[in-house]
């Protein structure tokens, strides 16, 4: 059989599989039929499964007052969205939505297929009133209603067809490792990091303003938040902050949102609700920035006050602290140590053995050890990826306070000797935390109050701030300039520890 004929047959099979895997359904927004990467029923299952991963990875902020507040506003906006309109298909109208506040200091909001909407406490801290929150939540509801993730998944599948076709023609397909030890599960990662197009973002901006305006919120207030995002990005040295990576420029949105709001006002929607008092009273006392109770690094040490442990960090290595794990990695990012609690093993030896007993691993050495008065177990092993890259691992597990703490350290095999001492230093330094000052450390919280006089914003600031917070950070937090005059009776947010 000729190569060209074989290639055409394979491409026809792939295209056939693609057509059978995509779904042609009516859009909740337009009511017209269009192709999606997944059926709505599949999106519901993906959302439910991914939501569990998101909660585990980032943690849910445990303040019921704030959680109920965000959920109540989200449900109100949902009631006027395309997901609840009379001419919308019943399968959409019956879909329940979940609104969660994540325990993250990052200014972020996102949505997953099937009705899962998230805002971080970092996002809430940078808002000024309920109207701004309504625009943000409406924007995320818009992504779900427009099924933007499924649209992008469809385009990704089209791209895969072209890729497979190229491989049949003789081009090489790189077989990269399927698992990222610092990442989420495959489904959550696929949708969380699947970039929307700028047109998707503009459509969601329009929908966010529409839903907020229909509930009579002062939707034009959303412009103030996008102006703050512009300042956050400038301060961080990024052109666009995380939430905005694929979005239109914040300055553009600060200009267009008032125009969108004006269009809805001309349609008869009053838009006179800001609810600043209720919003400020709700976030008063909310944790701001990184919560040191959940772990922090200082002077080449990582401390976890709540769990009362510590371990050393190599100089100039970075720390990524997440609810489910702590990762320590070098500047080149070719050496990493990941620490987590192993809730599936009862002993340090079992914890290490469960790793090296996997098919990909080849054990080289193993020993019972004791460091800092704690019983542990260590091993070295190698593993080969599908692209024939060999990695070498140093595994260490230790028993402490009825938990098993597992350290997985690795690099490519030919660089392992350069990093071995750092891997052992980090893992073997795990010990009980006894410093009472660190054990008693408190998180920074927002103190929300009204000003008692008219004066420049800077005059309301304390002489120093906790952590690495600057006066400019606090000005951005309040969506004002440092030299801007604040009228008496205005709300301000001040981080205090």
DSSP per-residue codes, 191-250 = HHSSPPPHHHHHHHHHHHHHHHHHTTB-GGGHHHHHHHHHHHHHHHT-SS-GGGTTSPPH
* Among candidate residues 242, 184, 243, the one with its CA nearest the CA of residue 50: 184
Q: For residue 395, is it within any domain?
A: yes
Pair (377, 247) in one structural domain: no
> Domain range spanning residue 490?
445-496
Beta carbons of 345 and 351 less than 8 angstroms apart: yes
Average pLDDT of the segment spanning 304-323: 95
Q: What is residue 155's predicted lDDT score, i.e. its pLDDT?
A: 64
Pair (421, 451) in one structural domain: no
Strands 109-112 and 98-102: unpaired
Q: Please state whether 363 falls in left (phi above 0), alpha (psi between -120 and 50) or beta.
A: beta
- Look at the block and give the residue holding tokens 């047109």: 199
pLDDT in tens, 381-430: 999 887 788 999 999 999 999 999 999 999 999 999 999 999 999 999 99
Query: Where a domain ends, among 434, 469, 486?
Result: 434
Strands 116-120 and 98-102: parallel
pLDDT-wise least confident of 11-15, 195-199, 357-361: 11-15
* Burial of 310 from C-beta contacts in 10 A (0-12 / 13-18 / 19+): buried
Pair (278, 381) in one structural domain: no
More confident call, 175 vs 224: 224
Beta carbons of 455 and 485 less than 8 angstroms apart: yes
Q: What is residue 157's predicted lDDT score, i.e. its pLDDT?
A: 53
Pair (320, 372) in one structural domain: yes
More confident call, 151 vs 487: 487
Average pLDDT of the segment spanning 67-72: 98
Confidence at 182, pLDDT banded by 50, 70, 90: very low
Q: What is the mean pLDDT of the chain?
A: 85
Q: For residue 78, is it within any domain?
A: yes
Pair (225, 323) in one structural domain: no
Q: For residue 440, is it within any domain?
A: no
Average pLDDT of the segment spanning 102-126: 93
Report the distance separating Cα 389 and Cα 178, nearest Å.
13
- CB atoms under 10 Å from CB of 261, counted, come to 25
Strands 33-36 and 23-26: antiparallel
Pair (69, 192) in one structural domain: yes
Pair (409, 449) in one structural domain: no
Q: For residue 454, is it within any domain?
A: yes
pLDDT at 5 over 60: no
DSSP string spanning 418-430?
HHHHHHHHHHHT-
* Among candidate residues 133, 124, 156, 139, the one with its CA nearest the CA of residue 37: 156
* Among candidate residues 307, 304, 280, the one with its CA nearest the CA of residue 290: 304
pLDDT in tens, 17-44: 344 457 889 989 988 988 888 899 999 9
The DSSP element (H or E) to which 80 belongs, if any, is: helix 64-80
- CB atoms under 10 Å from CB of 164, counted, come to 18
Pair (334, 466) in one structural domain: no
Report the distance separating Cα 360 and Cα 83, nearest Å.
46
Report the distance separating Cα 287 and Cα 118, nearest Å.
17
- DSSP state letter for 463: S
pLDDT at 70 over 60: yes
Beta carbons of 250 and 306 less than 8 angstroms apart: no
Report the distance separating Cα 200 and Cα 208, nearest Å.
12
Does this model's pTM top 0.85? My answer is: no
Query: Over 333-371, what HEC string results?
Result: CCEEEEEEECCCCCCHHHHHHHHHCCCCEEEEEEEEEEE
What's the domain count of the chain? 3
Beta carbons of 302 and 311 less than 8 angstroms apart: yes
Distance from the Cα of residue 462 to its chain's centroid: 31
- DSSP state letter for 287: B
Pair (87, 193) in one structural domain: yes
Q: For residue 298, is it within any domain?
A: no
* Among candidate residues 49, 46, 28, the one with its CA nearest the CA of residue 37: 46
Report the distance separating Cα 151 and Cα 23, nearest Å.
10
Q: For residue 55, is it within any domain?
A: yes
pLDDT-wise least confident of 20-24, 89-93, 280-284, 469-473: 20-24
Q: What is residue 294's predicted lDDT score, i.e. its pLDDT?
A: 94
Pair (118, 236) in one structural domain: yes
Q: For residue 299, is it within any domain?
A: no
Q: What CATH code is carried by the domain that includes residue 398?
A: 3.40.1000.10
Q: What is residue 293's predicted lDDT score, i.e. its pLDDT?
A: 95
Q: For residue 408, is it within any domain?
A: yes
Pair (381, 411) in one structural domain: yes
Above pLDDT 90, what percent of the chain? Answer: 66
pLDDT at 315 over 70: yes
Helix residue ranges per DSSP H, 100-197: 121-125, 130-146, 148-168, 186-192
Report the distance separating Cα 435 and Cα 106, nearest Å.
29
* Burial of 421 from C-beta contacts in 10 A (0-12 / 13-18 / 19+): exposed
Q: What is residue 164's predicted lDDT score, i.e. its pLDDT?
A: 28
* Among candidate residues 123, 113, 122, the one with its CA nearest the CA of residue 25: 113
Sign of CA dihedral 124, 126, 132, 138: negative
Pair (256, 330) in one structural domain: no
The DSSP element (H or E) to which 57 belongs, if any, is: helix 40-58
């Amino acid at each position: 059989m000729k190569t060209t004929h074989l290639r055409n047959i394979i491409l026809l099979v792939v295209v056939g599989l693609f057509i059978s895997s995509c779904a042609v359904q009516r859009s909740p927004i337009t009511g017209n039929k269009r192709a999606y990467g997944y059926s709505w029923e599949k999106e519901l299952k993906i959302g439910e499964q991914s939501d569990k991963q998101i909660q585990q990875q980032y943690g849910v902020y445990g303040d019921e007052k704030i959680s109920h507040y965000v959920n109540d506003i989200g449900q109100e906006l949902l009631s006027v969205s395309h997901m609840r309109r009379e001419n919308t298909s019943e399968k959409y109208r019956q879909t329940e939505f979940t609104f969660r506040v994540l325990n993250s200091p990052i200014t972020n909001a996102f949505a997953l297929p099937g009705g899962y909407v998230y805002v971080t406490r970092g996002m809430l801290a940078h808002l000024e009133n309920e109207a701004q929150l309504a625009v943000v939540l409406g924007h995320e509801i818009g992504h779900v209603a427009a099924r933007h993730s499924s649209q992008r998944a469809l385009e990704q599948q089209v791209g895969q067809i072209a890729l497979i076709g190229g491989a049949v023609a003789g081009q090489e397909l790189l077989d990269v490792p399927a698992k990222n030890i610092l990442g989420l599960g495959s489904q959550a990662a696929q949708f969380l990091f699947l970039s929307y197009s700028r047109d998707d973002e503009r459509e969601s901006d329009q929908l966010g303003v529409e839903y907020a305006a229909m509930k009579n919120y002062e939707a034009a207030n959303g412009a103030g938040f996008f102006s703050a995002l512009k300042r956050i990005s400038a301060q961080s040295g990024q052109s666009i902050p995380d939430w905005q990576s694929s979005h239109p420029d914040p300055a553009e949105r600060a200009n267009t949102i008032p125009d969108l709001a004006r269009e809805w006002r001309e349609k008869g929607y009053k838009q006179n609700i800001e609810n600043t008092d209720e919003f400020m009273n709700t976030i008063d006392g909310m944790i701001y920035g990184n919560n040191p109770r959940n772990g922090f690094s200082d002077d080449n040490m990582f401390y976890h006050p709540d769990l009362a442990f510590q371990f050393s960090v190599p100089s100039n290595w970075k720390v990524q602290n997440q609810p489910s794990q702590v990762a320590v990695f070098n500047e080149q990012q070719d050496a990493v140590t990941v620490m987590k609690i192993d809730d599936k093993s009862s002993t340090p030896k079992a914890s290490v053995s469960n790793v090296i007993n996997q098919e990909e691993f080849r054990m080289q050495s193993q020993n019972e050890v004791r460091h800092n008065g704690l019983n542990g177990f260590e091993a070295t092993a190698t593993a080969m990826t599908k692209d024939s890259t060999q990695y070498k691992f140093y595994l260490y597990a230790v028993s402490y306070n009825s938990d098993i703490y597992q350290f997985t350290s690795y690099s490519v095999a030919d660089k392992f000797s350069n990093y071995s001492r750092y891997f052992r230093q980090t893992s073997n330094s795990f010990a009980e935390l006894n410093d009472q000052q660190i054990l008693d450390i408190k998180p920074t919280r927002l103190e929300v109050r009204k000003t008692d006089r008219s004066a420049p914003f800077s005059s309301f600031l304390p002489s120093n701030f906790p952590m690495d917070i600057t006066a400019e950070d606090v000005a951005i937090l309040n969506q004002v300039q440092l030299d801007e005059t604040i009228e008496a009776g205005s709300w301000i947010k001040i981080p205090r520890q």
